[in-house]
Structure 1
Amino acid sequence: MSAWKKHEIFEKNSLILTIGIVVMISIGGLVEIVPLYYLKSTIEETEGMRPYTPLELAGRNIYVREGCYTCHSQQIRPLRDELERYGPYSLAAESMYDRPFQWGSKRTGPDLARVGGKYSDEWHRDHLINPRSVSPTSVMPGYPFLAENKLDTRDIREHLELNAVYGVPYTEEQIQYARADLVAQANPDRGDIDGFEERYPGVAARAFDGDPSDVTEMDALVAYLQMLGTLVDFELYDNNANLR
C-alpha cells in the first residue's frame, strides 16, 4: 500500500483526523503532566532565594499592571551572546515565587533578569519618568505619574496571604506586619526598621524614589527592579561550564 493510501483515511475524513489529533495531543500531554505527580519538586532549591518584601511585591504588581513584561523579558538563555550581554543564565528557582512568571520572549527593550544593582535609584527614576533622558534612542513611554501616585497599601496584607496560599513561605508575622514592613523599607526613619530587618535580613531599605516624605508607586517599582537578579550568589554556580 502506498504512503498516500495509508494516510487517505485521515485526509478524506475530517472526523477521524480530529480524533487522531486529539489522541496525539493527549499522549503528549500525559508525557508532560504525569511525571509532575510523582516528582518531589520540579524546581531545585537555590541558596539565597526569599519571598518578595511587601514593597517589592507591590512593585511587581505595578510592573505587571503597566505591561512592562510586553517589552522586557526576565529570562537569560544559556547562549554565549546572552551570557556576555546579560550575565549568568536564569535559574528556574529565581521565578519560584512568581505568579505569573515574567520570562517571556519579547524584547523591545533589554532583558531585566539581572538589572538589580546595575544602575542607581536616580537612574531608574529618571528612566521611568523620561526614558530619553538616559537612553536617547529609547521608544519606551514615560511613567511620570509613578512618582506622584501615593502607593495604596490597604490590601498589601491580603496580597501576602494570597501568595502564601500558593506556597510562598511567608510567616504569620510577615503577613501581620506587611503594611508596617512596606513603610519601613521605603522610609526607614518613619517605619519600624528594626522589625523589618529582623523579618527580612539583609534587604536594602531607603527612599527609592528619593523623597522620604511619602511612599509612592515609584518607591515600589524601583525597589522591585533593584532586587532582580541579586538574590543568588552565582559564584557558587559554574553557569558557563556547558558552553566551553
Structure 2
Amino acid sequence: MSNATHHAPASGLQKRIETNSIFLVIGILLLVSVGGLVEIVPLFYLKNTIERVEGVRPYTPLELAGFNIYVREGCYTCHSQMIRPLRDEVERYGHYSLAAESMYDHPFQWGSKRNGPDLARVGGKYSNDWQRDHLRDPRSVVSSSIMPGYPFLATTPLNAEHLVEQMQTLRVVGVPYTDEQIENAAADLAAQASSDDAGGPDLLKRYPNAAPGDMAGKNAITEEDALVAYLQHLGVSVDFKLYDDKANIR
C-alpha cells in the first residue's frame, strides 16, 4: 500500500480560480473588501470606540511637560506602557492596561518591545528621591540596569513657554482641558513642582491625584522635576479593584 497522501480532486470552479491569475486576484480583492467593510463601517456610527473609565484625566501642566521629555528622550523605545491580559504580565506589572488610560496621550506609549520593565503602573511605586537617583545613575538603585543615565535633566531648567499653546491644541483634538485649567497652567505648574501637598485644594480640584513634587530648594523647575511628576502619575488614576472581579486572566 502506498504511503502517499491522497487529496480530493479540486472542483472545476476552484481549479479555474487557482489556475487563472485574474480570477484569483478578483477573489482576493472581494474577500479583503468584505473584511475591511466589516471593520470600517461600524466606525462611522460609533461616537467613541474607547470605553470611558472613571478617574482618567488629562495631564497636569507639569506632567504634560514630563510627557514631552519622556517622548523626546525616546524612553518608549525601551519601556512600553502596555500590560497584556496574560497571567505572567499581570502578576509582574499589575492590572492589564485599559485603552482609556491612554486616551489623552498624543502619541500614546503602548508598545510591543521592552528592554526594561513596563511602566504602566510605576506611579507611586517608588519615591520621588528614588526616581531622581534612578534617572541620574540607574545602577545606583538597580545594579543590573542597562539604562543610560540622564543627569543633565537635574540641571536643565524646564522650558514651559509653549505649554499653554500645547494644551489648547490638545483640546482641539479631544483632550478636555477647561478654560480654568488653561488659564491657571503656569500657577499649577509651579505649585505642583514646589509644594509638598501638590499645590493644595485648587490644583487637586482641577487635577485629582496630582502627585506632589519636591524641588528641594532649587530656584527653577527642572526637566527632572517634570519627568518625575509624569512617571508618578502613571497608573494611579483608575481604581482597578473595580475591574478585578471582571478580569478573566488565563
Normalising to structure 2: TM-score of the pair? Answer: 0.86
> Which residue identity is paired with 2:239?
D
> Which residue identity is paired with 1:135?
V
In 1: Cα distance, 2:16 partner to 2:115 partner: 48
- What's 1:101 paired with? 108
The 8 Å contact of residues 88 and 239 in structure 1, kept in 2 or not, is answered as no
- What's 2:137 paired with? 130
In 1: Cα distance, 2:55 partner to 2:30 partner: 43
How much identity, in percent, do the aligned residues show?
Answer: 63
- What's 2:18 paired with? 7
The 8 Å contact of residues 211 and 232 in structure 2, kept in 1 or not, is answered as no
Per the alignment, do residues 8 and 39 of structure 1 end up closer, same or farther by CA in structure 2, a change over 3 Å counting? same
- What's 1:204 paired with? 211
In 1: Cα distance, 2:83 partner to 2:217 partner: 33
Aligned with 2:229 (options 199, 209, 223): 223
CA apart distance, 1:132: 1.2
Aligned with 1:233 (options 230, 233, 239): 239
In 1: Cα distance, 2:161 partner to 2:60 partner: 15
Q: Which runs of 5+ in 2 are unaligned?
A: 1-11
* Greater Cα offset, 24-33 or 116-125: 24-33
In 1: Cα distance, 2:62 partner to 2:24 partner: 53
Q: Structure 1 residue 89 and structure 2 residue 96: aligned?
A: yes
Which runs of structure 2 are paired with 1:166-181 in the superposition (5 Å)? 166-181=173-188
Per the alignment, do residues 45 and 192 of structure 1 end up closer, same or farther by CA in structure 2, a change over 3 Å counting? closer
The 8 Å contact of residues 43 and 93 in structure 1, kept in 2 or not, is answered as yes
Q: Deviations over 1:76-133 (max 9, x none)?
A: 1110101110111111111111111111011000100000011111111111111111
CA apart distance, 1:135: 1.3
Aligned with 1:72 (options 79, 85, 97): 79
* Greater Cα offset, 85-94 or 175-184: 175-184
- What's 2:169 paired with? 162
CA apart distance, 1:18: 6.5
Q: Structure 1 residue 213 and structure 2 residue 224: aligned?
A: no
CA apart distance, 1:23: 5.1
> Which residue identity is paired with 2:142?
S
Normalising to structure 1: TM-score of the pair? Answer: 0.88
Q: CA RMSD in A?
A: 2.3
> Which residue identity is paired with 1:170?
Y
Q: Deviations over 1:1-39 (max 9, x none)?
A: 3856532222xx6xx776666555444333222211112
In 1: Cα distance, 2:117 partner to 2:102 partner: 18
* Greater Cα offset, 25-34 or 174-183: 25-34
Count of residues in Structure 1 that have an aligned counterpart in Structure 2 = 238
CA apart distance, 1:192: 6.8
